[in-house]
Structure 1
Amino acid sequence: MTVIDIPGSKSVTARALFLAAAADGTTTLLRPLHSDDTEGFTEGLTRLGYAVVREPDRWHIEGRPSGPAAADAEVHCRDGATTARFLPTLAAAAASGTYRFDASAQMRRRPLAPLTEALRTLGVDLRHDGAEGHHPLTIQASGVKGGGLTLDAGESSQYLTALLMLGPLTAEGLRIEVTELVSAPYVEITLAMMRGFGVEVVREGNTFTVPPGGYRATTYAIEPDASTASYFFAAAALTGREVTVPGLGTGALQGDLRFTEVLRRMDADVRTTSDSTTVRSDGRLAGLTVNMRDISDTMPTLAAIAPYASSPVRIEDVANTRVKECDRLEACAQNLRSMGITVRTGPDWIEIHPGTPRPTEIATHGDHRIVMSFAVAGLRTPGMSYDDPGCVRKTFPRFHEEFAAFVERSSAGE
């Protein structure tokens, strides 16, 4: 059995940074993720005037319930969707200030409209400086009174998360009625973390009521990233190995740990304890039809190992993967076809047939999850290469080294 330590969760780290910045007092984050996305988030906080001290395994953030210390700031959000959606929302709560946000070309293409329209509904003076509904944007902050709004979070649950976290910073709180919601487990992460910072959100069906009053600082431990763990779990299932990931057990916040249930349905053996999850397999995988709406970040992981299953793998209800760092559904389909695999697609589904994949150069589209997913396929199809292997820096800068070390250790029976 191979035990592997997975870096901290990107989703949890980003939420913790927002909550810490908004809290009354100094928060310490334990084992936060070090990556391009989280570095971009902390850099953005610094530009807004928040004090952030980073040590190797802990970060200290001095909260400012009144909002950014800077009265005027320009923030570049890089490729980070959480940075690009959370930081403008945080800045909007300031009593006064002018804040300009921009992002990479990749992030500029990704949608913001449901969030920015919701902020406008709440009275925020916000304008898009280029294409409507996309970065760049400028906020002329004057505080947020609060109130009620209706939100379509069918493209991204991050819109809802940003508004939920904004709620305690408003004068009257928020009441959010959600018409569509994708990746619902990520919202559960948000609600649990807000409780950890002293705020209890009331949920009745798809209506969320958030009280005013602010957050209190705390010491918060970041759990390992379940999406990143999916590559190692899939590798064990595909190659007949066994891997244990500590820190992701029955109490884990992240819904993407449910990817192991997909592997279980494919005949892998999965054991989850209070503080770890283990996957082992004899290397034989069954096909299946699975709805991955709530765990869509792991869709590419499943797509990459699907050709090695004994029957077709059909992944459904993943339309939102088309508006991620790239059109992930189409990127997976194109790369699998390049490997000689028969693939069918629709607006929100992909069906992958068994075959004998041949090595090819993977078109990554600058998407870290495409690289890491097809690295797993490379364990059964040696000779794969990538047009941009370095894009893993977004969430796991040392992925290639760590994955190679994992393969070597598991091959040696460690």
Structure 2
Amino acid sequence: MPRGALCDSGGVPEENAWTAPVALDKIDATVRVPGSKSITNRAYVLAALSAEPTLVRDPLDSRDARLMLGALAALGAESEHTARGVRVGPFRLDQAGEPAETSIALGNAGTVARFTPPLAALGSRTVHFDGDEAIRRRPVAPLLSALSALGADIDDDGRGAPPFTVRGHGGLRGGPVELDSSASSQFLSSLLLAGPAFAEGITVRLTGTVPSEPHIAMTIDMLRRFGADPERDGTTFHVPARTLSLGEYVVEPDLSTAAPFVVAPLLTGGTVRISGWPSTSTQPGAWLRELATDLGAEVTLDSGGLTVTGSGPIQGQLLDLHEVGELTPVLAALLCFAEGPSVLSGVAHLRGHETDRLAALARELTALGGNVTETEDGLRIEPSPLHGGLFHTYDDHRLVMAGAVLGLRVAGVRVENPATVGKTFPGFVEAWQSMLSGRDR
């Protein structure tokens, strides 16, 4: 996506804007964030590829997660919501008697657009993929090219993006393939997750750079949990054919979604406790614990979760966010209040997310009085007084969270279309307001 190519904000009416609350005193609150979107959707895919049903416990219930379940159902893997979680059944690859064609609604879910095309190639139906206008701007060409090289029958009219069609012919042989995963680690994860179901497994040799090593580590760890035997040698990954099985999988809280709550006490003083924070995790958001400490907060982790207590001013930072790019919007908002300049780097791939996040952040923070400029692979932030105004979110859940952080210190920040945060945290606005009111949530 070229620099500055933003998704249209859609001219959201004023009544659909949320005035982010200002912190009038030090915070003292306990917050529980929902399950990780990244883990939830990987667990659903691996469950569908397993030989027996899998109970996925504590999953995220959001638009993206529901779209994934809908996509898997369209491909023949039914699911059932229970009191303990979501039970996902295996694919019915024998699709005799089923309609010859089906469709998958992608919404604006990158994991659905990227994780499900290989699964469609395992069946015998023609599967049409399309979604929101925004998903048509998100890159998927490298994945489709790799799948085509493996023998998949794909028609995208040369767009390299939705809409596209996968014609299933009863499976893929698999084997070796080259992949450029520079734009998204999800391309690699997609092939690795499906690899156990290919007749010869899969061997992926990466070309170019790879963003977000934590997400790759997450995929490998989850494959092992479900009984696969992934191997890595530098930039070459191998997953042999294998029958998967795992009766129950528990989803961790989403640590990236916790980011605005972790940084809140840095701006307001006081304490926020994030319940359920795991002692170890492959999630990129796990780095927040180290970052909050570096920014001067008192941080402790115990069986109850992560506790962050803010004290003192924030200093400007030089942060390479290549491995934790999804934290960029919240951190950019936070560093607008630092006492010195900051540079965020290593995140050129954010131009291909829900919107061009770098262009969006530079535009919206500057519109509220900030001094934020784009660099080739990030943002430069100079201290500057901020004022209220409409903060456009471009259908991007992370920008809603960034707007909430700004509102802690700036009166009158009106966050456009807060409902878009339902992609990862449907109850975010209520949890944020509860945090500021001192009510635990």
- Asked if TM exceeds 0.5, the reply is yes
Quote the Cα distance in structure 2 between the aligned partners of 1:68 and 1:407.
52
Deviations 1:137-165 (CA, angstroms, capped at 9, x unpaired): 11111211011111111110000000001
Q: Give the secondary structure class of the aligned counterpart of 1:226.
A: coil
Q: Structure 2 residue aligned with 1:25, among 30, 39, 52? A: 52
Which 4+ residue blocks in structure 1 deviate beyond 6 angstroms? none
**Does 2:383 correspond to 1:354?**
yes
Alpha carbons 1:268, 1:285 under 8 Å: kept: no
**Does 2:156 correspond to 1:128?**
yes
Q: Structure 2 residue aligned with 1:167, among 168, 191, 195? A: 195
> Which one-letter code corresponds to 1:106 in the other structure?
A
- Which residue number in structure 1 is paired with residue 4 of structure 2? none
Bigger drift between 249-258 and 344-353 goes to: 249-258
Alpha carbons 1:265, 1:288 under 8 Å: kept: no
Quote the Cα distance in structure 2 between the aligned partners of 1:117 and 1:176.
13
Q: Structure 2 residue aligned with 1:227, among 256, 259, 278? A: 256
Q: CA deviation at 1:283?
A: 4.9
Alpha carbons 2:75, 2:91 under 8 Å: kept: no
Q: Structure 1 residue aligned with 2:147, among 116, 119, 123? A: 119
> Which one-letter code corresponds to 1:258 in the other structure?
W
**Does 2:146 correspond to 1:146?**
no
- Which residue number in structure 2 is paired with residue 394 of structure 1? 423
Higher-RCO chain (CA-CA 8 Å, sequence separation at least 6): 2
Quote the Cα distance in structure 2 between the aligned partners of 1:4 and 1:362.
25
- Which residue number in structure 1 is paired with residue 5 of structure 2? none
- Which residue number in structure 2 is paired with residue 9 of structure 1? 36
Alpha carbons 1:239, 1:283 under 8 Å: kept: no
> Which one-letter code corresponds to 1:118 in the other structure?
A
Quote the Cα distance in structure 1 between the aligned partners of 2:397 and 2:359.
15
Runs of 5+ unmatched residues, structure 1? none
Quote the Cα distance in structure 2 between the aligned partners of 1:245 and 1:253.
17
Alpha carbons 1:232, 1:243 under 8 Å: kept: yes
Quote the Cα distance in structure 2 between the aligned partners of 1:67 and 1:258.
44
**Does 2:246 correspond to 1:217?**
yes
**Does 2:227 correspond to 1:198?**
yes
Q: Structure 1 residue aligned with 2:324, among 285, 295, 298? A: 295
Q: CA deviation at 1:184?
A: 1.0
Bigger drift between 284-293 and 57-66 goes to: 57-66
Deviations 1:253-282 (CA, angstroms, capped at 9, x unpaired): 312220332232221222234662222112
Q: CA deviation at 1:214?
A: 2.7
Q: Structure 2 residue aligned with 1:328, among 327, 350, 357? A: 357
- Return closer, same or farther for 1:253/1:68 CA change in 2, 3 Å cut-off: farther
Q: CA deviation at 1:224?
A: 0.4
Q: CA deviation at 1:120?
A: 0.4
Q: CA deviation at 1:75?
A: 1.0
Quote the Cα distance in structure 2 between the aligned partners of 1:65 and 1:97.
12
Alpha carbons 1:47, 1:74 under 8 Å: kept: yes
**Does 2:253 correspond to 1:253?**
no
**Does 2:268 correspond to 1:239?**
yes
Quote the Cα distance in structure 1 between the aligned partners of 2:190 and 2:328.
24
Aligned residues: 410
Q: Give the secondary structure class of the aligned counterpart of 1:216.
A: coil
Alpha carbons 1:65, 1:214 under 8 Å: kept: no
Quote the Cα distance in structure 2 between the aligned partners of 1:67 and 1:327.
41
Q: Give the secondary structure class of the aligned counterpart of 2:258.
A: helix
- Which residue number in structure 2 is paired with residue 185 of structure 1? 214
> Which one-letter code corresponds to 2:57 in the other structure?
L
Q: CA deviation at 1:306?
A: 0.9
Quote the Cα distance in structure 2 between the aligned partners of 1:372 and 1:214.
40
Alpha carbons 2:403, 2:415 under 8 Å: kept: no
Bigger drift between 348-357 and 185-194 goes to: 348-357
Identity %: 35
Deviations 1:177-216 (CA, angstroms, capped at 9, x unpaired): 1122111100111111111110120111111111102311
Q: Structure 1 residue aligned with 2:413, among 366, 384, 388? A: 384
Quote the Cα distance in structure 2 between the aligned partners of 1:394 and 1:243.
23
**Does 2:131 correspond to 1:103?**
yes
> Which one-letter code corresponds to 1:351 in the other structure?
R
Runs of 5+ unmatched residues, structure 2? 1-27
> Which one-letter code corresponds to 2:107 in the other structure?
R
Q: CA deviation at 1:167?
A: 0.8
Q: Give the secondary structure class of the aligned counterpart of 2:286.
A: helix
- Return closer, same or farther for 1:305/1:56 CA change in 2, 3 Å cut-off: farther
> Which one-letter code corresponds to 1:334 in the other structure?
R
Q: CA deviation at 1:355?
A: 2.3
Deviations 1:94-136 (CA, angstroms, capped at 9, x unpaired): 2x2211111110001101001000000101011115x520001
TM score, norm. by length of structure 2 = 0.89
Q: Give the secondary structure class of the aligned counterpart of 1:150.
A: strand
Deviations 1:35-73 (CA, angstroms, capped at 9, x unpaired): 111111111122222211013550011112747785531
